[in-house]
Amino acid sequence: HAYRGTRGGVMAALTPFGLRCQVTEWWECGGDPHTYALRAEVLPPPVHRPASAAAQAGLLATLARVAPARSHLTGLTLSASYG
């Protein structure tokens, strides 16, 4: 419970999805109060998992569970680069 509702908690909860995340909160970008955006980089194989509809639904459900209750996701950007 120590991480629930924190930036670190969100980032840790998304690690099993094979994502490296950057969270930007509303006060860092001048957005609406209690909003946040997430940029996620898909880690190279064999860490990453396919971006199926079920995986995306699981990702959004995880965010809803671990993000602060009053916060709302305003943007999600996924990228991948396998150099």
Instruction: For residue 18, give the 3-state DSSP assignment.
Output: coil
pLDDT of 3 > 80? The answer is: no
Query: pLDDT per residue over 44-79, tens digit each?
Result: 776 555 567 887 888 889 988 888 888 899 998 888
User: Which 3 state secondary structure label does DSSP give 3?
Assistant: coil
**In this structure, are strands 72-80 and 19-25 parallel, antiparallel, or unpaired?**
unpaired
Q: Give the pLDDT band (50/70/90) at residue 33.
A: very high
pTM over 0.85: no
Strands (E), the chain: 19-25, 35-42, 72-80
Average pLDDT over residues 4-22: 84
Residue type, 6: T
